[in-house]
């Protein structure tokens, strides 16, 4: 089983104590995102978890306790973006971008540059956040992060209905294919100078002509490199253009305090603030304790099948 920690919220930044408590307990309860009255129990132990994929904008709280994960294999999807407090109010309130960059560098030094994937994600577009602005910001971040990673993942913002509501003050504009390709060309030229591979995330647009291939966050090849074995694993059922392989996520929506205006995982900022206020790191789920209740559903979790290597 590949454990996703988490697409739905930033567990390393805000819930690392809870996560380590769940590792010690051997399971985490996950509230059904479509029915808050239901939950499933996900077992967590080295005999079942092949690899953990962490998603974060600030790994510092979890990074200090990595020695407690000595029995697990893992890598990080680490977002470092150039936006200000109007776009990412929670992130800028707690950390400066310089500190985030230093955290990225320190994490890479600890676990290796192959296990820290840089996400310039999402790319938002407006009269202020225009093509030239992104080129300048991308090169600035590339200069500081390139020695500490091997891959950069990019995506263009999806303006869902709730995203449109939260980003309305920013005056965001729809990105057409021409603009996407203009950005892709500029990014690829910058990355070439730093020998960094760029991949796209869940994008319909084909950027192969710029050396940018469709990528995946829960990446079979990276998992195999991290665990040192070939595996058999099916594709996940995320968004139609998502290339990720199957994983089990233990996070919850409407719980992230970065409060990024573009984020699809928070419906409204105040809901996330309220849910975080209810959080108890001793609970079995992020915002509730189901430990004394009858488990309605135990997530089927097994060690991934290994691919037998041939003799020749």
70 SS3 class: coil
- Asked whether 17 and 23 are in contact (CB, 8 A), the reply is no
pLDDT of residue 134: 98
Nearest alpha-carbon partner for 223 in 287, 280, 303 = 303
- Return the pLDDT at 153: 97
Q: 266 pLDDT exceeds 80?
A: yes
Packing angle, helices 97-111 and 131-145, rounded to 10 = 40
Backbone angles phi, psi at 275, to 5 degrees: -65, -40
- DSSP string of 139-203, one letter each residue: HHHHHHHGGG-SEEEEEEPP--HHHHHHHGGGT--PPPHHHHHHHHHHHHHHHHHHT-EEEEES-
DSSP state, 95?
-
Please list, in sequence order, all residues whose beta carbon lies within 8 angstroms of the beta carbon of residue 303, skipping any fewer than 6 positions away: 1, 47, 48, 50
| Distance (Å, whole) CA 226 – CA 220 | 10
CB 248 within 8 A of CB 300: no
Mean pLDDT value across the chain: 93
CA gap 231, 189 in Å, rounded? 34
The answer to whether 106 touches 63, Cβ cutoff 8 Å, is yes
- The model carries a pTM of 0.94
Which residues make beta-bridge pairs with 235? 245
Per residue in 188-239, pLDDT (tens digit) is: 999 999 999 999 998 999 999 999 999 999 999 999 999 999 999 998 877 7
Task: Please write the tens of the pLDDT for every residue from 93-144.
Answer: 656 889 999 999 999 999 999 999 999 999 999 999 999 999 999 999 999 9
Confidence band for 312, pLDDT divided at 50, 70 and 90: very low
Instruction: Give the H/E segment covering residue 121.
Output: strand 116-123
Using DSSP's 3-state secondary structure scheme, residue 248 falls into strand
């Amino acid at each position: 089983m590949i454990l996703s920690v988490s697409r739905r919220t930033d567990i390393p930044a805000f819930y690392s104590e809870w996560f380590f408590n769940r590792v010690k307990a051997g399971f985490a309860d996950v509230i059904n995102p479509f029915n808050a009255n239901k939950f499933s129990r996900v077992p967590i132990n080295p005999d079942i978890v092949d690899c953990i994929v962490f998603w974060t904008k600030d790994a510092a709280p979890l990074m200090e306790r990595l020695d407690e994960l000595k029995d697990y294999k893992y890598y990080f999807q680490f977002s470092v973006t150039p936006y200000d407090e109007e776009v990412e109010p929670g992130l800028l309130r707690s950390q400066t971008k310089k500190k985030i960059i230093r955290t990225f560098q320190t994490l890479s030094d600890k676990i290796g540059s192959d296990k820290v994937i840089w996400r310039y994600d999402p790319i938002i577009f407006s009269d202020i956040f225009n093509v030239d602005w992104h080129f300048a910001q991308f090169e600035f971040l590339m200069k500081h992060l390139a020695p500490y990673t091997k891959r950069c993942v990019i995506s263009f913002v999806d303006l869902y209905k709730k995203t449109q509501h939260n980003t309305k003050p920013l005056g965001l504009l729809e990105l057409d294919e021409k603009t996407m390709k203009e950005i892709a060309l500029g990014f690829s030229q910058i990355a070439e100078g730093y020998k960094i591979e760029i991949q796209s995330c869940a994008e319909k647009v084909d950027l192969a002509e710029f050396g940018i291939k469709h990528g995946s966050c829960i990446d079979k090849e990276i998992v195999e490199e991290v665990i040192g074995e070939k595996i058999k694993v099916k594709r996940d059922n995320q968004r139609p253009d998502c290339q990720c392989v199957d994983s089990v996520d233990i996070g919850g929506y409407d719980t992230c305090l970065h409060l990024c205006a573009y984020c699809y995982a928070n419906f409204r900022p105040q809901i996330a603030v309220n849910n975080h206020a209810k959080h108890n790191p001793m609970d079995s789920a992020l915002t509730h304790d189901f430990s004394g209740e009858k488990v309605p559903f135990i997530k089927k979790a097994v060690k991934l099948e290994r691919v037998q290597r041939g003799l020749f």
